[in-house]
Amino acid sequence: MFPVPFVDYIPQFYERDDKLNAFADKMDSIIAGIKEDTLGLNDFIDPVKAPSVILDKLGYYLSAGIKAQDTDRQKRTKIATAIQGHKQRGSFTLDAKPKIDLIAGGDSQIIKSVGSDDWILVGDGTTPASYYYAAMGADGIDDELGIALIGEGTEIVIAGNVYIDVDNNSLSADDQDRINQELLDIVPVYYYVHVGYLDMSGAFVEYFVMGT
C-alpha cells in the first residue's frame, strides 16, 4: 500500500498551511515515482512492454541474435521467439521463417515438388561431375513432356536443395545480406538453400544461394 495522498497520513494536530501542503505534494510526487518504478519491474521481462533501452541487454541474455540495424519491433520479436528458436534450431517454421519474415515482411514458404514421385536417372551416381541427369515425373516438371534435364545438381528435385520463397520481389541488397546473416547458423551442412521469390509466372527468381 502506498500512502497517498500523503497529507492524509500527517497527524491532524499539524496545521494545514502552505508549507505542509507543499511538503505533502512533494511526497506524493516521490511516492508516485517509486510506485511506477516498482510496479513496472514486471515490464522488464515482457518483450512487448520492456523499455527500448534494455532490449539489447535482453537480446544478449537470450542470444536472440539482435543486430545494430534492427528496429525496436524486430528486436522485440527476436526476443519473444528466441527460446522457441533455440529449442527448435534449424526448424523452418519456428526458427528460420520468423527471421526471414521479420526482414522481408512477407509470408515465406519452402517451395516443394508436389505430385507423384519422380524418376531420376543418374548413371552410377558416384561422381559429382556427373551432371545432366534426366528427371521424369508427373508433378509438372515439364507440363508437355513430363521430363527435364538436370544440370549442376542444384535443381529442386535433387535432395539437399531447399528453395525458400521470401514473398517479396523487391528486397534491397542490404535486406538480402541481413537474411543471409540470420540463416548462417540455421542452414544444415551439405545442403544448398536457395533464397528468392516466385514471379508472376510462377518461376523462381533467386536472390542468393547458401551452402557448401
pLDDT score, position 88 = 79
Q: Mean pLDDT score of the chain, rounded to an integer?
A: 79
Strand partners, 194: 163, 209
Distance CA 204, CA 95 (A): 23
Q: Which residue has the cell 515425373?
A: 137
Domain-wise residue ranges, the chain: 6-42, 106-112+159-212, 113-155
pTM comes to: 0.56
pLDDT score, position 116 = 40
Q: Which residue has the cell 551432371?
A: 131
Report the pLDDT averaged over residues 195-203.
90
Distance CA 161, CA 202 (A): 18
CA-nearest of 204, 187, 191, 14 to 90 is 187
Q: Which of 204 and 89 is assigned the larger pLDDT?
A: 204
pLDDT score, position 118 = 46
Across 23-32, 71-80, 155-164, least confident range: 155-164
| C-alpha cell at position 145 | 513432356
Q: Which amino acid is at 95?
A: D
Q: What is the pLDDT of residues 130-188, one digit of tens each?
A: 444 555 554 444 444 455 555 566 666 677 888 999 999 999 999 999 999 989 888 87
- Return the SS3 of 144: coil
Q: Which amino acid is at 175?
A: D
Confidence band, pLDDT 50/70/90 cuts, at residue 81: confident
